[in-house]
Amino acid sequence: MTPVDYDRDLYRTYRTGRALAPDTGGLWMDAIAAYLGRRSARAILDLGAGTGRFSGILADAFGARVVGVEPSAKMREEAERHGAHRDVAYVGGAADAIPAADGEFDFAFLSMVIHHVGDLGACARELRRVLEPGGLVFIRNTFAGRLDRVRYFEFFPEARAADEARLPTVESVRSAFAAHGFELVALDTLEQEIDASLTAHYDRIKQRALSTFALITDAEFQAGLARMRHAADQETIPTPVLEAIDLLVLRRPSAASLLQPKLQ
Ligand SMILES: C[S@@+](CC[C@H](N)C(=O)[O-])C[C@H]1O[C@@H](n2cnc3c(N)ncnc32)[C@H](O)[C@@H]1O
């Protein structure tokens, strides 16, 4: 896996280039609430919180304290500057070293993070430690082998190939977590409107705020942009751009007797 350094450039464009469309936060909060069976929580972990795109939304949706754990100092600065919320604390840390007490969180949310985690086993071990018994892990991500409904790949075939190579499969994540006692609850796919038109999507994509675009050459990026611009110019009636993102839901074992990791 090629690590992507958010401290180098991506922190500059992330917040605007990855801004959520108006209904998107609610769409994901509703999906989480359906699995929790309630609209409240004590404490939530937003692991790999980035610029805090979901942290305040989580706090508001569940009336909870949120800890946004984020390894990139520059992303944390952006979060503190633009994503400040009285119930959210942004702290340094990473998936294999979560700065939290045992059993501190009702549930964990990982949005577009799991492909950056080098050691899935260490991540599962830490999540098992910091979640309360029976606590859920919500992994919002795209996965290898499931990229057909992401619109910009139509224009950037090299980016799709890079993502197929670096993204984990659902099965690899599930089995890494199963080795630490997590059970599969669900794999859902949510369709979200990312932009109101292809022109708006072009304006977003040209900011190069997706880490995938750090993995292709400048020439490949520019050629993809030209293809996208051309297609956007043909669009006579603005048509919303939809994309499908998966939600993998896992449950931490509830009994202390299950805490011995199974070796696979
Ligand atoms: C695509 S961004 C997602 C940010 C946020 N969750 C969101 O959806 O807007 C990925 C984030 O994961 C962070 N990250 C990278 N490696 C990580 C790790 N090992 N543990 C936790 N976070 C990590 C990056 O610094 C970056 O902020």
Q: What is the pLDDT of residues 128-149, one digit of tens each?
A: 999 999 999 999 999 999 999 9
Answer yes or no: is 68 within a domain: yes
Domain of 117?
6-146+168-195+243-253
* Atom of ligand 1 minimally distant from the CA of 53: 9
pLDDT band at 57 (very low <50, low <70, confident <90, very high): very high
Contacts 24+ apart (CB under 8 A), 88-92: 88/46, 88/52, 88/55, 88/56, 88/59, 89/65, 90/49, 90/52, 90/55, 91/67
- Confidence band of 257 (pLDDT split at 50, 70, 90): very low
Calpha distance 32→29 (Å, rounded): 5
Domain count, the chain: 1
Q: Does any domain span residue 31?
A: yes
Checking DSSP bridges between strand 241-251 and strand 105-111, what pairing results, if any?
Answer: unpaired
Q: Is the pLDDT of residue 264 over 50?
A: no
Q: Which pLDDT tens digit goes with each residue over 3-49?
A: 788 888 788 888 888 889 889 999 999 999 999 999 999 999 999 99
- Centroid of ligand 1 to alpha carbon of 113 (angstroms): 5
- CB-neighbour burial class of residue 86 (10 A; exposed 0-12, middle 13-18, buried 19+): exposed
Q: Is 10 in the pocket of ligand 1 (CB under 6 A)?
A: no
CATH of the domain at 112: 3.40.50.150
Mean pLDDT (the chain) is: 94
188 found inside a domain: yes
Residue 77 confidence (pLDDT): 96
Task: Judge whether 21 lies within some domain.
Answer: yes
